Chains A and B, each alone.
Chain A
Amino acid sequence: MARTLAMFTDTSLCIGCRACQVACKQWNELGLEQPEWTGGYQNHAHFTDKTFRLVRFVEEPKPNGDLAWLLMSDVCKHCAQAGCLEACPTGAIYRTEYGTVNINQDVCNGCRYCVSSCPFGVVAFNEQTGTATKCTFCNDRIHNGLSPACAKACPTESIQFGFRDELVAKAEKRVETLKAMGFKEAQLYGADSGGFLGGLNAFFLLLSKPSVYNLPADPKLPQRNVVVDSLLSIGSALVVGLGALLAFRERGKGDN
């Protein structure tokens, strides 16, 4: 595997201009869709088959009663342990040599198991193509020496693209700086490769708790219970099978 690539989204620098969201749409030729009323400036409410980058506009109440903007450009996390990839029965979802997670549109048969296996609700089903879709990390661009369209378009360097190890070091310094500036809740989300899901290849710097951004505090791999659940099913099979055996055996013995 080549050196792992990553995107680091520093929400403290985001101004909510949505250049990333538009650039993503343009480059990936994602079609028009009906806008959604969310009660604020955010549109759409969540990722769809035509929205792979999405700027979240979170309004956080301040102690004095005012509201503070928390802006966050959200995207597929390209998890090191990816639920969608584990769930895919066709091998359409694969990991690239750069560590990103991709869906091969020519192989996906639209079973939709990955849709419900993403801990972040990223993967979306496209009714027109009948396949599952999500951010590709601009697979075509990174294989031609370019940065993803969203990172390229970001005017404030809120979205940074590069080698993962370098970006993590940069992000850690940035958190220290922000804390010194008084942002007490500043924290990294998914930067730690020893943390949840083996680390996220698209990780974030948040200015508040993950839950404020509608992010799970401790996302888990959905497939972690396959063995336990299977063993419990086998136990059930033994009991039910034994019951049937007893029912058919009891008075049947003398017949032979």
Chain B
Amino acid sequence: MLKAPGWEMSIVWYFFLGGIAGGAYFTAAIADNFGSRRDSAVARIGYLLSLPLVALCGLLLVVDLGVPSRFLNMMRVLKPTDPMSIGAWGVGIFGVFTFVSSVLSFTKSESRAALRRKIGLIGMLFGFFLASYTGVLLSNTALPFWGDARLMGALFLASGGSTGMAAVALIMFLTGGTAGESWHKIERADRYTMIVELVILAVFIAWLGSAARPITTGHFAPLFWGGLVGLGLIVPLVLNVVGHRARALGVVSAVLVLVGGFVLRYVVVMSQHG
């Protein structure tokens, strides 16, 4: 009876990358504002990562439209209670913040760094928004499971935060920045976020009850339980906890977190694919 929107892989990728972009940015802004001076390296990675990702997000959204040349029609109206409408605006505004923060992340001037930190505090709100609104967008449709999932936005936010932190940690590893205290801080931040995500996911499933069946049973069950709950959450959390002195384990943990974040968006979107 009801119709699924028929969104393809581009939307799964958008939800995934948007979560990373938002998560990396707000983590960067928090590190920038509340961390030590040395944490500004973490902040720079977060800002610089969110910029290309949000650009890619915009591209994915436009490409997915039935009439891509009409993407600016989204700017004809601003509906505060419509996730699709404020989402389009939010992606655009967040993009501006990632650009300004990225440029300012190279500054040597203390006054410009202070400005960057202030901008980060406001941009952070849009980062939180980008990571979570996609969940609220799904939970306000007429479809069962999506429309029943009151915690979809909250879950996407925690996952976005966790994947954003994992992505920043991976870049730190790849660029040889794992020696200092900052590495342990980002690991710790991701640990806390993973715990939050696990708790939200448990409540999410319990709250949905039988409405969660499209992902907890049947075709998507192995991916959900194995790929997300097991490999994407519990295993990386354990690796993160037991391996906080062994960098290699932290790196494996970060990779698995990213896999889990992708699997979450994949099973949620594809389980309602029309």
Chain A residues within an 8 Å CB radius of B26: 241, 244
Q: Among the listed stretches B49-57, B97-105, B188-196, B252-260, which one makes contact with chain A, having 4 or more residues with CB under 8 Å of it?
A: B188-196
Within A35-94, the residues touching B (CB, 8 Å) are 46, 83, 86-92
CB pair A244–B65 under 8 Å, yes or no, is: no
CB pair B152–A229 under 8 Å, yes or no, is: yes
Q: Among the listed stretches A26-34, A114-122, A161-169, A177-185, which one makes contact with chain B, having 4 or more residues with CB under 8 Å of it?
A: A114-122
B83 located at the interface, meaning its Cβ lies under 8 Å from any Cβ of chain A in the complex: yes
Also in contact, A90 and B39, with CB within 8 A (given A225-B150, A230-B136, A240-B196): no
Chain B residues within an 8 Å CB radius of A243: 189, 192-193, 196
The 8 A CB mask of A95-134 against B (1 = contact, 0 = none) is: 0000000000001111111011111110111110111100
Chain A residues within an 8 Å CB radius of B36: 248, 252-253, 255-256
Q: For the complex formed, measure the closest distance between the CB of B42 and the CB atoms of chain A, giving whole angstroms.
A: 8
Chain B residues within an 8 Å CB radius of A239: 196
The 8 A CB mask of B17-46 against A (1 = contact, 0 = none) is: 000000000110011001111110010000
Also in contact, A107 and B73, with CB within 8 A (given A130-B66, A244-B165, A252-B35): yes
Chain B residues within an 8 Å CB radius of A228: 150
CB pair B77–A90 under 8 Å, yes or no, is: yes
Our pick among B6, B42, B157, B186 for the contact of A237 (Cβ within 8 Å) is: B157
Q: Among the listed stretches B109-117, B139-147, B223-231, which one makes contact with chain A, having 4 or more residues with CB under 8 Å of it?
A: B139-147
CA–CA, A113 and B165, complex, Å? 30
Also in contact, A235 and B154, with CB within 8 A (given A130-B67, A244-B189): yes
Chain A residues within an 8 Å CB radius of B35: 248-249, 252
CB pair B74–A120 under 8 Å, yes or no, is: no
Size class of the contact patch on chain B: 35 or more
Our pick among B74, B77, B82, B186 for the contact of A109 (Cβ within 8 Å) is: B74
The 8 A CB mask of A138-175 against B (1 = contact, 0 = none) is: 00000000000000000000000000000000000000
CB pair B139–A225 under 8 Å, yes or no, is: yes
Q: For the complex formed, measure the closest distance between the CB of A198 and the CB atoms of chain B, giving whole angstroms.
A: 16
Q: For the complex formed, measure the closest distance between the CB of B21 and the CB atoms of chain A, giving whole angstroms.
A: 15
A223 located at the interface, meaning its Cβ lies under 8 Å from any Cβ of chain B in the complex: yes
Chain A residues within an 8 Å CB radius of B146: 116
Chain A residues within an 8 Å CB radius of B31: 244, 248
Chain B residues within an 8 Å CB radius of A247: 185-186, 188-189, 191-192
CB pair B73–A112 under 8 Å, yes or no, is: no
* Total residue contacts A-B, CB cutoff 8 A: 224
Q: For the complex formed, measure the closest distance between the CB of A246 and the CB atoms of chain B, giving whole angstroms.
A: 7
Also in contact, A109 and B152, with CB within 8 A (given A237-B128, A237-B157): no
The 8 A CB mask of B160-197 against A (1 = contact, 0 = none) is: 01000100000000000000010011101101110010
CB pair A115–B34 under 8 Å, yes or no, is: no
CB pair A92–B152 under 8 Å, yes or no, is: no
CB pair B30–A251 under 8 Å, yes or no, is: no
Instruction: Count A interface residues, CB 8 Å.
Output: 66
Our pick among A92, A113, A245 for the contact of B34 (Cβ within 8 Å) is: A245
Q: Which residue of A lies closest to B88 (CB)?
A: A89
Q: Which residue of B lies closest to A228 (CB)?
A: B150
Q: Which residue of A lies closest to B89 (CB)?
A: A89
Also in contact, A240 and B161, with CB within 8 A (given A124-B3, A251-B185): yes
Chain A residues within an 8 Å CB radius of B139: 225, 229
CA–CA, A126 and B192, complex, Å? 45
Our pick among A129, A226, A251, A255 for the contact of B136 (Cβ within 8 Å) is: A226
Q: Which residue of A lies closest to B85 (CB)?
A: A89
CA–CA, A158 and B141, complex, Å? 32
Chain A residues within an 8 Å CB radius of B153: 229-230, 232-233, 236
CB pair B5–A112 under 8 Å, yes or no, is: yes
CA–CA, A109 and B64, complex, Å? 10
Q: For the complex formed, measure the closest distance between the CB of A32 and the CB atoms of chain B, giving whole angstroms.
A: 21
Q: Which residue of B lies closest to A238 (CB)?
A: B128
B200 located at the interface, meaning its Cβ lies under 8 Å from any Cβ of chain A in the complex: yes
The 8 A CB mask of A204-248 against B (1 = contact, 0 = none) is: 000000000010100100111111111011111101110111111
Return 13 A-B CB contacts under 8 Å, by A number: A89-B82, A91-B77, A115-B5, A125-B6, A129-B66, A225-B140, A230-B136, A233-B132, A233-B156, A236-B157, A249-B35, A250-B185, A256-B36
A-B contacts besides A115-B3, A233-B154, 16 pairs, CB < 8 Å: A46-B3, A107-B76, A109-B73, A110-B67, A116-B143, A118-B3, A118-B142, A121-B1, A129-B67, A223-B82, A226-B81, A226-B83, A233-B135, A243-B193, A244-B26, A252-B35
B contact set with A: CB distance below 8 Å: 1-7, 26-27, 30-31, 34-39, 42, 64-68, 70-71, 73-74, 76-77, 79, 81-85, 87-88, 124, 128, 131-133, 135-137, 139-143, 146-147, 150-158, 161, 165, 181, 184-186, 188-189, 191-193, 196, 200, 272
